[in-house]
Amino acid sequence: MAEETLMSDEFLRQLINVGEVDIVVGVSTHNNAKTIGPVVAAIQAGILKCFPRERVAIINADGGSQDGTTELVEKVSIDDLWREHKVYALRTLHSISARYARIPDPSKALQTILAAADLLHAKSCAFISPESTTIEPDWLQRLVRPIYNENFDLVCPIYVRQRSEGALMRNVLYPMTRSIYGCRIREPYGSEFAISGRLAGDFLAKGISNEDWGRMGPEISMTIMAVAGKYRVCQSFLGAKALVGHGTQDVVTVMRRTVGALFASMDPNFPVWSAITGSEAPPTFGTSTEVENEAVRINRKRLLDMFATGVAQLEPVLGSILPESVLSELKRIAALGLNEFEYPAELWTKTVFEFAASYHKSTISRDHIIQALVPLYRGRSLTFLSENRNGSGEDVETREESLCTDFERLKPYLLESWADRK
């Protein structure tokens, strides 16, 4: 069904010409001409180095690029790999570009790649971000090998990050996913990940992408579906996460795609997550490296201003989401100066849980609930930034673990809010 609606005749013809493959590498693009060339070259090098005997196809799902991205994907030649990586091709390496829409849609892009993998009967499907400028050929092996050799269904990445990076991941997505679904996946929303053919088929067959949470954030939905559905999940250490577009990502859009999808997933999965207490670490492959320390210029005063203004201006909106005790505490910290400011972990946990419960009860428009969380996230980011400014990588880890413990400890609070018993 998915194939019929997502694939053009030309795309289908190219796939039929390929026949069956062992591995599909999917790259979803939209105006990525600046970075796509080296990324595709690294993917090809990874395939030839690590999977020289396997049948592999690179599928590029493009959302209407105007800068020649698709042409660049097709232009990357495996002959160049000999010069750079000294690797030979043993098999024909197929590279197909397909335009799934005129405007980018992550859900459709993912579906297109999954449908292609399904049609080609791929055993494994890896997703690589076109902005991953730090990608190494080994990444492909680290993502695909656990599926190929050890029958895992989902391989999530673990990146090496700078201390100030990934504030949303470290303050909401990881702790929340861990406490809700009981699985310690460090990057539930990865730019790079790999899934088994079985999970790809099930994702398409169950029509997750037709549900709210699947449409909003297909990447995180995949992780949630795998964890909630008791698929075999593991993690693999990759290298440093690329910071293309640093500081220019629209926080509201990112919030909708990640936190929105996470909140939306909680309704249909309530019977699963409400019974879970504590959390377990999934098997992890590879070795961790030290957190990088690179000076990043952030205007802390501006962050505080945006938080304080948000709390003051959005008071009626926040009043319909948060209980009086949490709101009054927020107003108190909003009045603090830059040096004294602290958004405590427990208060942050309660805030996020109250937002999740309000999202479930639809106290106001669900999209407005997500938008109202943005200024508060900025306040928490400021504390995250201040706490980690002078600490070591170990300190960052310790604080992250402490926040996760708070999220797990306060899960009964969420259940009470969810059932409106407070």
Partner 1 sequence: MRDIIINELTQAFQQMAREVVHYLPRLIVMLIIALIGWVIAYLLKLIVRSLLRLTKFSKLSENAGATQLLHQAALPSSTELLSRFVFWVAWIGFVLLGVSVLGIAGLQEYISRFFLFLPRLFVALVILFFGLVAASFFSRAALLAAVNANFRSSKMLSIAIRIVIIIFALSMVFEVLGVAEETMLIAFATVFGATMLGLAIAFGLGGQDLARKFLERRLARQNKEEREDELSPL
- Residues in the site for partner 1, rule: CB under 8 A? 164-169, 189, 191, 243, 246-249, 251-252, 254-255, 258, 296-299, 302-303, 305-306, 309-310, 313-314, 317, 320, 363-365, 368, 371-372, 374-375, 377, 381, 385
Q: Which is nearer to partner 1, 32 or 44 (CB)?
A: 32
Tell the smallest beta-carbon distance from residue 298 to partner 1 (Å): 6
Tell the smallest beta-carbon distance from residue 309 to partner 1 (Å): 7
Please give the Cα distance from 177 to 189 (Å, whole number).
10
* CA dihedral of residues 352, 358, 364, 370 (deg, nearest 10): 30
| HEC assignment per residue over 182-216 | CECCCCCCCCCEEEEHHHHHHHHHCCHHHCHHHHH
Q: Which is nearer to partner 1, 5 or 309 (CB)?
A: 309
Please give the Cα distance from 99 to 329 (Å, whole number).
50
Q: Which is nearer to partner 1, 243 or 276 (CB)?
A: 243
Q: Which is nearer to partner 1, 278 or 316 (CB)?
A: 316
Q: Which is nearer to partner 1, 197 or 379 (CB)?
A: 379
Tell the smallest beta-carbon distance from residue 318 to partner 1 (Å): 11
Q: Which is nearer to partner 1, 247 or 271 (CB)?
A: 247
Tell the smallest beta-carbon distance from residue 297 to partner 1 (Å): 5
Structure tokens at 237: 């250490």
Cβ neighbours of residue 345 under 8 Å, at least 6 residues apart? Answer: 402, 403, 406
The residue type of 31 is N
Tell the smallest beta-carbon distance from residue 319 to partner 1 (Å): 11
Tell the smallest beta-carbon distance from residue 127 to partner 1 (Å): 15
Cβ neighbours of residue 30 under 8 Å, at least 6 residues apart? Answer: 62, 63, 64, 65, 69, 104
E-assigned strand segments in 295-400: none
Residue 103 phi/psi, 5-degree rounding, is -120, 145
